[in-house]
Amino acid sequence: MDVFLKPKQNQIHIVQLVIGKIIKNNKIYMDKLVKYLKFILLLIWQLPQSIVGWAMMLFFVIFGKVKLLHYINNTFIFESSLMRGSISLGTVIICCSTHADKPATIQHELGHVKQSKYLGWLYLFVIGIPSIVWASIYRRLGYRNYYHFYTEKWANKLGYVKVINKTTNYYSYYYLGIEKNILIS
């Protein structure tokens, strides 16, 4: 009987191998599909700010130098030679060359990314526009601390950047799981 069973067992074994391979291969495709789907859904959820962000990127790519620093949590982090300061617009963060070397600033921008994911289409009105207005007038209003405003304070909290000393602008932050201290001027 053994002799007759063997080819059948082999067939079963081959079938199992093939099915296993199909499941394994499909899992890779499924993972990729889920990844792309997640990015597209996040893009739609954050569409107004993403359009502004990618339009800025297009301009920077055509007229200046652009470098991809990181791709993290469905967000592209770029450094641009034409950028002044840093901005977080949905699926894209654009940093100036000075900020690109400051992990705490990138963490702060990742805090804005979380705000964008929470607020969706409301982000530009609740965070983006007030933040830009605040950046241009806070000194004139007599404030020394840029991070005093709710948009910035909240971004620091979400990006794990925390104030140690409010008068000297000393910040601590978590970057790649390590707590560090930094002076933000």
By CB under 5 A, tell whether 79 contacts Zn ion. no
With beta carbons less than 8 A apart as the criterion, state whether 14 and 52 touch: no
CA distance 7 to 20: 19
Rank residues 113 and 155 by Cβ distance to Zn ion and give the closer one: 155
Q: Which is nearer to Zn ion, 106 or 155 (CB)?
A: 155
- Counting residues that bind Zn ion (by CB under 5 A) gives 2
Closer residue to Zn ion in complex, CB, 79/152: 152
| Token pair belonging to 181 | 């201290």
Query: How far apart are CB 88 and Zn ion at their closest, in Å?
Result: 7
From the CB of residue 124, how many other CB atoms can be counted at a distance below 10 Å? 19
Tell me the window of 4-12, 14-22, 23-31, 149-157 that interacts with Zn ion (CB under 5 A). Answer: 149-157
Distance of alpha carbon 49 from alpha carbon 65, whole angstroms: 22
Tokens of 94: 């654009």
Does residue 152 interact with Zn ion by CB under 5 A?
yes
Q: Between residues 50 and 86, which has the closer beta carbon with respect to Zn ion?
A: 86
Phi and psi angles of residue 171, each rounded to the nearest 5 degrees, phi first? -125, 150
Q: Give the interface with Zn ion as residue ranges (CB under 5 A).
A: 152, 155
